[in-house]
Structure 1
């Protein structure tokens, strides 16, 4: 039988071949050709579809009491601190509002504080320190390169444009609780319509992301999810110190990135945001990435 197969009669890519192809969202489902994927098996929390938590509740099966987005008897925080549950601080990078968090992966006694309009820092969706964005008062415009605001023709706050110093990039993250900075390298560039960004620490740890342009285009506040279904177009990767271990959302896991400010395009573009979640190695081990943030000019 095998002798009858040749390049002329091999079966082409299809929705039943057990391979992620044809623009599928998951193997053999979703995309422009195949049947829609079962929303109860996509490893995402889809509240608009009636799910109580990730792939459970509503039209999906009932949620496990230890993973249902609610504070149940015996738990210290939401889905944590009980027999068989994770410790509450471990939930600060999972992209879900749980534990003692006041927002997604922020607030409470374990996670970093959530952004506010009165904390003296530029965070959340602000375009200046405690101003701009959908939540804070508008920023005043003075055309000053030292006022902590983005005004005039600045590429970003007090940098770039015709009169301010060039913008410098920065990226920081925690991997399994260890803090790293992109103090050796922090770069962003365009690959077609996709943004590619990443950083390298002086200790050689590396993190990088490719973000495919969303159907609605890049906008401030865009939330990007990275997992096996979005790879390779949208994916994250991490390499530990010395290249001892490598991880990727193409292997498994789930990363969430929020683009707080984005102006795509090389030679004058800029991207700023936050990220958290986890990635897997080819062997199935996992790394938790938390408290990630970046602000990088796009070259």
Structure 2
């Protein structure tokens, strides 16, 4: 019974979606440019901004630690983790892995580390969305692997605005690379956003997202004022990682933001290993495993 259901879900046609975006002036609270801002689409790992917010606001243990366990395995896309399993890891290190490297296992582990069950944690995510007025948003898991995690560019402006008040998110958003301390060893990771990874722009809020169904998503708020205003670009369903980076850079520059040290975008091919376009191989392995 499992195989027919699996392939029905896998190959059932999905609706073709167009890119939607907003360029927003967070200083003066106004939209500068927009296209289909109310289009509701899967947001993939952009979800992790809300996961971070709920964890930071509900975790009461400053010395919180947890381990990656079998509960955290990705049964949706077949993605993997570079973090060791069964080893106690400080929650702040998992938060770092989740926001910088977009580690799905770290997101799952954090969702059961704030004094509640995973189900309760996801409910808190949805409750927070309602509180922020994100009426087109719904969360089904803490990583964004589920296509049930949906939002709109307009709702994500509200999430970005709230995230600007979180010092931990601001700091981690702008790390081009870092080490995750896991006790026995340190795991080196790079930022999934090329604009930050290559230090082309500095970020106040930054989260990429990708699954097949969502295309390449990004919530990015520039840290440096552009013409005396903090400018952000929220875009959903970009065609590729390269087009997402180029689109964001072009929009930022259009409204007065300048690249750090006049840097330019290049070497996209070599950067594939750091991006979130990784679920093709994982999905193929998952299909093989399920159908054997």
Shorter-chain TM-score bucket reads under 0.3
TM-score, length-scaled by structure 1 = 0.22
Report which of the two has the higher share of helix: 2
TM-score, length-scaled by structure 2 = 0.22
Report which of the two has the higher share of strand: 1
Higher-Rg structure is 1
